Amino acid sequence: MITSTSNQQMKNLMLLMKKAKARNEQELFVVEGRKMFQEVPEEWLKQVYVSESFFAENDKMLAGYTYEIVSDSVFKAVSDTQTPQGILCLVRKPQYRLEELLKGADTHLLILESIQDPGNLGTMLRTGEGAGISGVVMNHTTVDLFNPKTIRSTMGSIYRMPFFVTRDLAETICELKNAGVKTYAAHLKGKMQYDEPDYTGATAFMIGNEGNGLSDETADLADTYIKIPMCGQVESLNAAISASLLMYETNRQRRIRSMSQDRMSNIRKVEE
């Protein structure tokens, strides 16, 4: 049993939680909680740590896994949550190529520029999975995707949502456009309401920094500016909420298209 925060493994855990540089160098990140443990892909899992009280009540759940038992006091000290569930894991960081996010006409992407709030980023991944997007593109000044707060906000979607981090966002957007992806900038200068365009083809939405929005350089690369109408004195919505509206509008349009195609197919079968 590990009984000291001076233990090298515990020191490394705390380093990985606090420093993006360490996560990048070791290509590892930390997840906490029973749900995150149960959903992690087996090939991604490197190490499991459990508190002594968690082990006493859940030893059967750990059968087949390699794990270290940690004293309750040490576990609480290294945990990034106020009320630790008693289990955390070291997980290998996944890598994706931009091409893996492209699904032909079904491509549906978020393009994020300098998002700073970990909760917003995590919520976008989680909502994106629910809306059926094909991936998230972000620039290197966006908050670290593997920040513990971001990981918690994804609620497991980090395991299933492909992503691509680029050092040259403009170049990547041009690559997407060359691949036939229509790009839309959520922008206060937009003349077109967000639910007017046809999103049933390959589509990408650009979402900017919470305080400043999209940079002019990035916004100018969009095929179309779109806006979300506001009532009252509200100027704009939270970045994650704006992204959610756009993703689910696309989801709605594609479901309607799919249902129409199914009806036409059934009609043809009856006529035959």
- What are the tens digits of pLDDT across the range 128-139? 999 999 999 999
Give tens-digit pLDDT for 66-119.
999 999 999 999 999 999 999 999 999 999 999 999 999 999 999 999 999 999
Domain spanning 98-260: CATH 3.40.1280.10: yes
The structure tokens listed for 173 are 């957007």
Distance separating alpha carbons of residues 106 and 109, to the nearest angstrom:
10
Please say whether the beta carbons of 93 and 121 come within 8 A: no
Instruction: Please state, as a whole number, how many other Cβ atoms lie within 10 Å of the Cβ of residue 30.
Output: 24
> What pLDDT score was predicted for residue 270?
67
DSSP category for residue 183:
E
pLDDT tier for residue 27 given thresholds of 50, 70 and 90 = very high
Homologous superfamily, domain 8-92: Ribosomal protein L30/S12 (3.30.1330.30)
For residue 193, what pLDDT is reported? 97
Q: Spell out the domain ranges in the chain.
A: 8-92, 98-260
| pLDDT of res. 44 | 98
Task: State yes or no: pLDDT of 213 exceeds 70.
Answer: yes
Q: pLDDT tier at 202 (50, 70, 90 boundaries)?
A: very high
Q: What is the pLDDT of residue 261?
A: 79
Backbone angles phi, psi at 170, to 5 degrees: -60, -45
Interval 128-171: pLDDT, tens: 999 999 999 999 999 999 999 999 999 999 999 999 999 999 99
Q: What is the share, in percent, of the chain residues with pLDDT greater than 90?
A: 90
Strand partners, 186: 226
Report the predicted TM-score, pTM, of the whole model to 2 decimal places.
Answer: 0.93
Contact (Cβ atoms closer than 8 angstroms) between residue 29 and residue 21: no
